[in-house]
Amino acid sequence: MADAGKKTLFEKIIDKELPAQFVYEDELCVVIKDINPAAPVHLLVIPRKRIEMLSDSKPEDQALLGHLMLVAGKVARDAGYGDAFRLVVNNGAAASQSVFHIHLHVIAGRPLSWPPG
Ligand code: 5GP
């Protein structure tokens, strides 16, 4: 879990203290390329607001969470995969969450079978 007084990895990236490949930015979120892509397109949609995990989000985060979904669709379209992409949110360490600053994975560019691993 993140230490409340310490920046998360993604806050450091958002603040440009660590490098990343940005593909989109607005006042509420950024989108970067995943450093260890699971597919030809693997983007991370990250809110500027630090929410540790989806299950920590509050009713007041509703509009922000909706915005992240809309941005995910936009960047998938911009990458050429508007009609074939997967959105993933890992919630909790047991569900493979490793960075405790909520983010949506946008994955595309290869066949995506179901169920996921
Ligand atoms: P999680 O496992 O929390 O759902 O996803 C975290 C994602 O962040 C992983 O897919 C991982 O590859 C990615 N990641 C970890 N460190 C960095 C980094 O320094 N830069 C970028 N661009 N992605 C990272």
- Give the three-class secondary structure for 11: helix
Tens of pLDDT, residues 37-86: 999 999 999 999 999 999 999 999 999 999 999 999 999 999 999 999 99
The DSSP symbol for 99 reads S
Gap between the Cα atoms of 45 and 105, Å rounded: 7
- For residues 110 and 94, give the distance between their C-alpha atoms in angstroms, rounded to a whole number: 26
Give me the pLDDT at residue 4, please.
62
Do the domain assignments include residue 62? Answer: yes
Name the closest-CA residue to atom 16, ligand 1. 35
Q: Would the CB of 54 count as within 6 Å of ligand 1?
A: no
- Counting the structural domains of the chain, the total is 1
**Residue 73 covered by a domain:** yes
pLDDT attached to residue 117: 73
**What atom of ligand 1 comes closest to residue 99's alpha carbon?**
3
Distance CA 104, CA 64 (A): 12
In a domain, 39, yes or no: yes
pTM: 0.96
Residue linked to tokens 């560019």: 109
Name the residue range of residue 55's domain.
Answer: 9-108
Would you say the CB of residue 22 lies under 6 angstroms from ligand 1? no
